[in-house]
Structure 1
Amino acid sequence: MSFCQLLDLIGRDQISILLEKHDVFAEYINLENIKGALLGVADDKISCLISEVVITKKALRDRKTSTATAFDERWEDFESCLMLDGYRVERNRIIKIEPFIESSEPIEDDLAKELRRTNLPSSEEIIDLIKRSAEEFRKPAPDYYNGCLTYSRVALETLCKELAIQRGLIVSDNDTKVWGNSIRFLKEYAFFDKKEEDAITSIYTFISPGAHKPLGFTDKEFARFGMNLAISVSYYAAKKFNG
């Protein structure tokens, strides 16, 4: 959808030629039809189409100077969406950030399925927090950094609290140590063992405010990395609960 929004800025004639070149056909060139046409196209064609747009970014941007700012904004959003899916743009090429597993679903989709299977009262709230984390990630710098990690961390905290409550933990409204108490209770109840407790609390601390960003990571890379860590460990906890 982000790619469609970007295409919508470059002019109908240009879009028509670009789509036809890659054997993608839309009856009318508008945003909705472009999206519909792309949904029915094989992944390899989409990849080739996106690659050409990335390679010719400057030419596409320079076609209409009046839309240069809009193009830059859409391009930044497009790059953020690519990064969420495990890719980044580097020297006019699309680079995979991490290994690709054929036919695998995004971990956030797997998490949503497992959360709904738990029937926890806050499952939809946790799913919404993950979505909000991704939305924050797409914001311009520097807004995305703290928002993305905060929503991911709160999602993990909320899940562990719900799991502990299901196991009998009583949580008061003014409990300021709900995270620590929940994790401790889950270990004492033998839901988590010591290694699992250490791993989960370490990840929580790692993405908390004031945590040291690893050398070599940009803010954008670390925000995505931290978000994925929180999603992965949340999936692990939900999957184990459903066990």
Structure 2
Amino acid sequence: MNLTNRTKISLVQLLDIFEKTQTNILFEKYSIFSDCRNIEDIKESVFSNNLQELIKELIFVKQTFRNKINPKYTFDERWSDFEKCLFLDGYKIQNNAIISIEPNIDGVVAFEDELTSELVSSTFSKKEEVKNLINESAEAFKNSDFNQCLSKARISLETIVRTIAIAIDKYNNSNDSWGNALSKLRTESFITQKEEELMGKLYGFISDGSHIPLGFTEEEYARYGRNLAMSKCYYIIKKYKQQFQGGNYADF
């Protein structure tokens, strides 16, 4: 399973409300940590091991664990958060089992974590702003605010494109619209015409008020649109690192 750090943290929060003995036995059962002494050990284990089998058991015996916790709403809140995080990562809980929504490759870093890593290692001037927008998009999704989820994802992409456009614009026109900024990247050979067209179509697709395609739930559509935006953010940041940090433009 390719889980983001967000999902792993959510799992830690869920496990933290269990009795310590329950948690230790669960981790020992799957050899995730050989000497579980306290919750700090458990948290460290969560971030460094394959948790697929443990998660499968948690899902299968969810009601058993819930019955042992009072008040019940504490479990329900943490479980809902964990379930939403899993869904963002491409895993759906259905009929007491976990189903992969799309193909994944074991050992590959979760995509959103790759994007965050690329941002952190870049000289991009607004990387903290973009990271915050990505997190706000995820939080909105978990709160079932799907319009806000897509809005924050769209603004992440727009922020990246407009910031780079301003940097390569000799007139330094900071008031460029999304369309003008995207066009600027193309005229300056930062992206191709096909890439410009694709980005423009994606931007329109995830804009507020877009029609949800037949067969999609609102939740599925928000996840799909958000992932598309994140993939384009990743693509543009990679190109930025190649062209700006690679020497084609001055850093900013």
TM-score, length-normalised on structure 1?
Answer: 0.85
Q: Give the aligned residue type for 2:81.
A: D
Which residue of 45, 53, 71 maps to 2:58? 53
Structure 1 CA distance for aligned equivalents of residues 122 and 54 of structure 2: 40
Which residue of 25, 32, 37 maps to 1:28? 37
Shift, 1:13, TM fit: 3.5
Q: Residues 91 and 158 of structure 1: is their aligned pair in 2 closer, same or farther, counting only changes over 3 Å? A: same
Sequence identity (%): 41
Structure 2 CA distance for aligned equivalents of residues 234 and 57 of structure 1: 36
Q: RMSD between aligned alpha carbons?
A: 2.2
1:166 matched to which residue of 2? 167
1:235 matched to which residue of 2? 234
- Worse-superposed segment, 4-13 or 81-90: 4-13
Structure 1 CA distance for aligned equivalents of residues 115 and 155 of structure 2: 15
2:147 matched to which residue of 1? 146
- After the TM superposition, list the runs of 4 or more consecutive aligned residues in structure 1 that deviate by more than 6 angstroms: none
Which residue of 139, 145, 152 maps to 1:135? 139
Q: Residues 21 and 121 of structure 1: is their aligned pair in 2 closer, same or farther, counting only changes over 3 Å? A: closer
**3-state SS in 1 of match to 2:93:** strand
Structure 2 CA distance for aligned equivalents of residues 112 and 19 of structure 1: 29
Matched, 1:205 2:210: no
Count matched residues.
232
Shift, 1:123, TM fit: 2.4
Shift, 1:26, TM fit: 4.7
- Structure 1, unmatched stretches of 5+, are none
Structure 1 CA distance for aligned equivalents of residues 140 and 204 of structure 2: 20
Aligned residues of 2:24 and 2:36 also touching (Cα < 8 A): no
- Structure 2, unmatched stretches of 5+, are 1-8, 243-252
Which residue of 80, 92, 96 maps to 1:88? 92
**3-state SS in 2 of match to 1:89:** strand
Q: Give the aligned residue type for 2:114.
A: D
Structure 2 CA distance for aligned equivalents of residues 12 and 116 of structure 1: 35
Structure 2 CA distance for aligned equivalents of residues 221 and 170 of structure 1: 39
Structure 1 CA distance for aligned equivalents of residues 66 and 121 of structure 2: 46
TM-score, length-normalised on structure 2?
Answer: 0.82
Matches within 5 A, 1:59-70: 59-64=64-69, 66-70=70-74
**3-state SS in 1 of match to 2:161:** helix
